[in-house]
């Protein structure tokens, strides 16, 4: 991984935890490098402890609040109740113009699929403080194979802003055009290049491999999201040097993305094992040994001569699967 001077100097240590004062503001005079705070505890208490209007961006993937996996009852009301409780806490902590990105999937029980982002939308929009800007579809190539419905290959990120005047740096997230040499064929721009020199808007559909067993970012945490996902959100929605918060940080992926992008990070998880993983990942990032998939790495396509791309003779389906 390329390590620039800023990251080489970056340290995660108990001192770093004190860099975000109890008021939540950053004390850059103590250490000019990136400030970090990792908390073991309850997300609701953690959010309540943040100074009002101190956070630029909240990125999180909450648990489904539906009891243990072996609990067969679907408790969607628990999910909604938890989000009703979260709403005043996240809105109080966010700066005016700050953003919240909430990553969820579907809850599937007995083959019935509930899109959880629909519940998030209804709950978070209910007070008229948070405004929905995008439902970003995160699509990936691998997952469970369904037999009685189409296999699920996407989850989503619901992006809300606090208020109508908000930070959004599109240029920081532009991607190369498919046809950069395209020219207008009529009207005042006839014969002129039509693309933006910095690249195109990445759109609201993002293909980023999910963190499965052989992914370079895989840790012992069971449901990580990829660094690249949080990285693009951070670039676009948090000003350089601003503060990113993840109240359900798991393995600390949002923290890794924040540090890569030169933003401060404060995260919480109630499970000490995951906080330890997050700390180890950030330490590895600091010393240049963390492996992560770069945001601009193309999706792997096996070559026609590779063994996995060859169709066994008895396979009869001709469409790619
Ligand atoms: C979906 S995972 C987040 C994974 C994370 N995005 C990553 O990339 O590793 C949700 C996390 O929330 C934590 N959690 C669940 N309930 C919590 C609570 N009340 N307070 C704090 N953390 C909680 C779980 O331990 C779990 O690690």
Judge whether 245 lies within some domain: yes
Strand 154-162 and strand 130-139: pairing?
A: antiparallel
Beta bridge mates, 13: none
Q: Does 46 map to a domain?
A: yes
Residue 304 lies in a domain: yes
Domain around 292: 5-309
Distance (Å, whole) CA 140 – CA 81: 30
C-alpha 269 to ligand 1 mean position (Å)? 6
Q: Which residue has the tokens 């620039």?
A: 4
Question: pLDDT of the chain along its 321 residues, tens only?
Answer: 333 333 333 444 333 433 443 333 443 443 346 799 999 999 999 999 999 999 999 999 999 766 555 444 558 899 999 999 999 999 999 999 999 999 999 998 888 899 999 999 999 999 899 999 999 999 999 999 999 999 999 999 999 999 999 999 999 999 999 999 999 999 998 999 999 999 999 999 999 999 999 999 999 999 999 999 999 999 999 999 999 999 999 999 999 999 999 999 999 999 999 999 999 999 999 999 999 999 999 999 989 889 988 888 898 765 554
Question: Residues with Cβ < 8 Å from 206, sequence gap 6 or more?
Answer: 136, 137, 138, 139, 229, 232
Residue 318 included in any domain: no
232 alpha carbon – ligand 1 mean position (Å):
21
Q: What is the CATH number of the domain that holds 252?
A: 3.40.50.150
Cα–Cα distance for residue pair 254/244, rounded to 1 Å: 8
Residue with tokens 């190539």: 141
Mutate to test the pocket of ligand 1, among 43, 63, 106, 208 (most ligand atoms within 8 A of CB): 63
List pLDDT tens digits, range 207-222: 999 999 999 999 999 9
Residues touching ligand 1 (Cβ under 6 Å) are: 42-43, 61, 63, 221, 223-225, 248, 250-251, 253, 268-271, 274
Q: Which residues contact 273 (CB under 8 A, 6 or more apart)?
A: 220
Question: Is 316 within the bounds of a domain?
Answer: no
Q: State the closest ligand 1 atom to the C-alpha of 246, by its place in the atom list counted from 1.
A: 6
Give CA separation, 95 vs 24, 55, 100, 165, 231, in Å.
12, 6, 11, 11, 20
What is the phi/psi pair of residue 159, to 5°? -105, 120
Q: Which of 58, 155, 248 to mutate to test the pocket of ligand 1 (most atoms within 8 A of CB)?
A: 248
Total domains in the fold of the chain: 1
Q: What is the pTM of this model?
A: 0.88
């Amino acid at each position: 991984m390329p390590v620039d001077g800023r990251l080489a100097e970056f340290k995660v240590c108990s001192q770093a935890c004190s860099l975000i004062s109890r008021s939540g503001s950053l004390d850059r005079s103590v250490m000019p490098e990136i400030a970090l705070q990792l908390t073991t505890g309850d997300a609701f208490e953690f959010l309540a402890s943040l100074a009002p209007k101190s956070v630029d961006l909240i990125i999180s993937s909450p648990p489904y609040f539906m009891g243990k996996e072996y609990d067969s009852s679907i408790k969607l009301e628990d999910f909604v109740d938890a989000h009703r409780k979260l709403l005043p806490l996240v809105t109080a902590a966010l700066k005016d113009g700050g953003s919240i990105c909430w990553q969820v999937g579907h809850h599937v029980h007995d083959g019935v699929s509930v899109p959880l982002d629909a519940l998030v939308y209804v709950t978070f929009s209910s007070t008229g403080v948070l405004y929905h800007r995008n439902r970003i579809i995160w699509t990936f190539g691998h997952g469970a194979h369904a037999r009685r419905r189409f296999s699920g290959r996407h989850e989503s990120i619901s992006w809300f802003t606090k208020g109508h005047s908000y930070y959004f740096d599109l240029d920081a997230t532009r991607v190369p055009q498919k046809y950069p040499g395209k020219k207008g064929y009529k009207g005042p721009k006839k014969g002129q290049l039509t693309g933006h020199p910095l690249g195109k808007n990445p759109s609201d559909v993002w293909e980023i491999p999910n963190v499965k067993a052989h992914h370079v970012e895989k840790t012992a945490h069971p449901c990580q999201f990829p660094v690249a996902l949080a990285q693009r959100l951070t670039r676009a929605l948090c000003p350089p040097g601003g503060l990113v918060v993840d109240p359900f940080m798991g393995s600390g992926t949002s923290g890794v993305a924040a540090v890569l992008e030169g933003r401060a990070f404060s995260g919480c998880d109630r499970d000490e094992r995951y906080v330890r993983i997050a700390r180890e990942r950030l330490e590895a990032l600091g010393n240049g040994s963390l492996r992560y998939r770069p945001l601009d790495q193309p999706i792997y396509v096996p070559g026609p001569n590779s063994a996995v791309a060859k169709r066994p003779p008895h396979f009869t389906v001709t469409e790619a699967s």
